[in-house]
Amino acid sequence: MILHDIIYEWDGKSRAGEKPITWWPGSYRVRIVKLGDDTKAIRYLFPVAVILKSQKGTKRLHSSLKNYIDNFAKKLAKIYALDIDKTLWVELDDEIRVAQLNPDRKLSDEILYSISWRPARPNELAMIDPFIKDL
């Protein structure tokens, strides 16, 4: 089930002391989908997927999230009440890659994440396939 389907843009500037997603402007199509509901018999490791596709309409707004996915994830988690480490972060590009963010350590009030990117697995592709056909 699609929960949210938006275009998220940023200008690369800091506002009200918040760290920007990246220091360069960018724009991504963001689709947040619910992959399944937990039951007594089945428990999902990643019940939600965030599917990301760069909007390359203008060169000025093309900034990859590969190195900034943690900043982006923190923003989306705050806006849409997502559990970062229970969300599958999927980027559609030349290949479909998946990021997993695991809490690594906490500095004062900020959590730092270890991030691992990898190609999507066949079972993950099967789960997200209905949601990426029109992207």
Which residues partner with 105 through β-bridges?
Answer: 112
Residues 6+ away with beta carbon under 8 Å from 23: 12
* Model pLDDT, residue 42: 76
Closest CA relative to residue 80, chosen from 92, 89, 93: 89
Contact indicator for 12, 25 with CB cutoff of 8 Å: yes
Tens digits of per-residue pLDDT, 52-81?
Answer: 998 866 555 556 788 889 989 999 999 999
Tens digits of per-residue pLDDT, 21-63?
Answer: 888 888 899 999 998 776 777 777 888 999 999 886 655 555 6
Q: What region does 108 belong to: left with phi over 0, alpha with psi -120 to 50, or beta?
A: left
Contact indicator for 42, 18 with CB cutoff of 8 Å: no
- At 26, the amino acid letter reads G
Contact indicator for 12, 22 with CB cutoff of 8 Å: yes
